[in-house]
Amino acid sequence: MSRIPPPMAMLAELTHRCPLACPYCSNPLELEAQERELSTEDWTRVFAEAAELGVLQLHLSGGEPATRRDLTDLVRAAREAGLYTNLITSGIGLTRRRLEELDTAGLDHVQLSLQGMDAELADRIGGYKGGFARKMQVAGWIGEIGFPLTLNAVLHRQNLHQLPRALEMAQEMGARRIEVAIVQFYGWAMKNRAALMPTREQAREAEALVAEARESLKGKLVIDFVPADYHGDYPKRCMNGWGSVGLNIAPDGLVLPCHAARTIPHLEFWTVRDRSLREIWYDNPAFNAYRGDDWMKEPCRSCERKAIDLGGCRCQALAIAGDPAAADPVCVKSPAHAKMRAMAEAFNAEGESAELTYRHYA
Ligand code: SF4
Ligand code: FES
């Protein structure tokens, strides 16, 4: 038997189609066309294979998963396979009736995204007029039906001042958890680094505020926090380790260790159209490329923190240091750390006047 543990969580990117136009979208620059999306039957097979492989949690994401007409059928198929299902949505495209159908089909949990904490800012950041009002209506239905709710607030230079309000909203909506994620720069978001990158002061304030709120809201609200990469000293444990606990499936069926993995040019990813999920997880050389720590170079190889952060993010190491096996440049020990700091300062200096470049699904 292989020593590689099975994955626990799978992110199914059902589609890249999305009514919003968020400038921080982490999906790739090239989006998949609707014609290339996996069919209901394909996904049903993949869910069964995932459960058989050991996956416990399924996150249904996008784009906006509600743009898939067969969303209810997909939830039912996942539940029949024995998976715990979480819908990651902006709320746009969900009606009360649709939510009730999803409930009947067995949907376990909803994660609702917030682009801003008032209509003016949320609609401007999401590039969708009326989106905030619609989302508040959907949040009400989610509460009435009784879905467990997590809020996801992506925060950046232009909306970080609303973090206290995000925490209040989570309590008002009866959410059990909020993910406070300072924007991460992958995919489309790279185009908006100047406009979105928080200042160092904002990043520090957010850290302090989250630490305080975790104390004061203990037992009432769980707060997950993703700090600002470019202002950090040590990197995040990206994906909890490459090919370690989770996998992503792109709308066309490509199986990836993380959402940005396709940016690493020498890796070849396999698709569920041709192979079983089991074969891909255990045998695809791309999944094995950064498993464990044999691939590490110095300074990670001999670092006392390597079991903590696993060297950070491979995709960010490629994007900034030019080598996916290098230490994540967020790390103070990385030779590229000074470059990352300088980039943060340069983007911050530009940020005041930078325009948002919206992401539209064409
Ligand atoms: Fe993590 Fe590598 Fe930095 Fe050590 S040197 S803290 S393992 S990124
Ligand atoms: Fe690919 Fe972090 S996003 S390893």
Tell me which DSSP letter residue 6 carries.
Answer: P
Return the residue whose CA atom lies nearest to atom 6 of ligand 1: 305
Q: Which residues are annotated as a binding site?
A: 18, 22, 25
| Beta carbons of 330 and 337 less than 8 angstroms apart | yes
**Using a 6 Å cutoff on CB, does residue 317 contact ligand 1?**
no
Helix residue ranges per DSSP H, the chain: 40-53, 71-81, 96-105, 119-126, 131-145, 163-172, 193-196, 200-216, 277-283, 285-288, 306-309, 314-316, 337-351
Instruction: Tell me the CA–centroid distance for residue 149 and ligand 1, in Å.
Output: 34
Ligand with minimal distance to 302 CA:
1
Instruction: Tell me the CA–centroid distance for residue 250 and ligand 1, in Å.
Output: 29
Relative to beta strand 255-256, strand 246-249 is antiparallel
- Closest ligand 1 atom to residue 306 Cα is 7
Map 227-279 to HEC letters.
CCHHHCCCCCCHHHCCCCCEEEECCCCEEECCCCHHHCCCCCCCECCCCCHHH
Instruction: Tell me the CA–centroid distance for residue 261 and ligand 2, in Å.
Output: 6
Q: Which residues are annotated as a binding site for [4Fe-4S] cluster?
A: 18, 22, 25
Instruction: Tell me the CA–centroid distance for residue 304 and ligand 1, in Å.
Output: 8
Q: How many residues does the chain have?
A: 362
Partners of 13 in beta bridges: 61
Ligand 2 pocket, CB under 6 A: 186, 238-239, 242, 258, 260-261, 313-315
Ligand with minimal distance to 313 CA:
2
Q: Is the dihedral of CA 202, 342, 322, 307 positive or negative?
A: negative
**Using a 6 Å cutoff on CB, does residue 333 contact ligand 1?**
yes
- Closest ligand 2 atom to residue 263 Cα is 1
Residue 351's pLDDT is: 94
Q: Count the alpha carbons within 13 Å of 233 in the hemisphere toward its beta carbon.
A: 2
Tell me which DSSP letter residue 176 carries.
Answer: S
Ligand with minimal distance to 226 CA:
2
- ipTM greater than 0.85: yes
Q: What is the pLDDT along the chain (362 residues), one digit of tens a residue?
A: 458 999 999 999 999 999 999 999 999 888 999 999 999 999 999 999 999 999 999 999 999 999 999 999 999 999 999 999 999 999 999 999 999 999 999 999 999 999 999 999 999 999 999 999 999 999 999 999 999 999 999 999 999 999 999 999 999 999 999 999 999 999 999 999 999 999 999 999 999 999 999 999 999 999 999 999 999 999 999 999 999 999 999 999 999 999 999 999 999 999 999 999 999 999 999 999 999 999 999 999 999 999 999 999 999 999 999 999 999 999 999 999 999 999 999 999 999 899 999 998 86
